[in-house]
Amino acid sequence: MRTLALVGATGRLGGHVLAEALQRGGWHVKALAREPGRLAAHEGLTVVAGDVRDAEALAALAAGADAVISCLGARRGAGPEEVLPEGMATLVQALAGAPAHLVVVAVAGLLDAPEGGLRRDAAWYPAPFREGSGQHLRAWQVLQASGLPHTLVCPPDLVEGDRHQPLQVLRDMLPPGPKRVSMPALAAWMLDEVAQPAHAGHRVGISNVPEA
């Protein structure tokens, strides 16, 4: 039985990752939650109470973890708070020296733009998303500096969909076609990636395969 540490388990995507891991079996999931009561008791699930910036809670979450998935997003309207980069700094400190592979979800704005540079820096990138993408950028920089083995997954719009939805994957750039990805299918992909990393050290653009 392998141990998966999951950050963001009460969010939309994190909920799908949790459900997928418990359904598959073979994983004991340790899920971090500020409100533990939002997660129903389940065999194979341990809930760790705490905030992502709580060093003690993160140490408990990371202890014995074979793999880590972070579905943490930037909090909208949080003002000057840097929850995402601060949380990432706490997480990497808790994992220092651990062999666990991390799969971290970020925004598609961190992928390369076709004309060069990052998508978030392009003139056409939606202005309302710049603040959140900035937090994701700073969290990614913390992750890179840590030297921990990781895969950065950068999907476009997250939508409900089929777990068996075919996905297309492209390193560093967003694949052409639909600017959306099925959350159940993405959750399954991320669990495959932490079990057998195929994109360690890379950013990955991922989306639904276009319908024929």
Tens digit of pLDDT for each residue in 5-40?
Answer: 999 999 999 999 999 999 998 999 999 999 999 999
Q: What percent of the chain has pLDDT over 70?
A: 96
**Mean of the per-residue pLDDT values of the chain:** 93
Residue-level pLDDT at 82: 85
What's the whole-number mean pLDDT along residues 184-211?
Answer: 96
What's the whole-number mean pLDDT along residues 114-140?
Answer: 94
pLDDT beyond 90 at 2: yes
Residue-level pLDDT at 74: 72
Residue 36 falls in which region: left (phi positive, over 0), alpha (psi -120 to 50) or beta: alpha
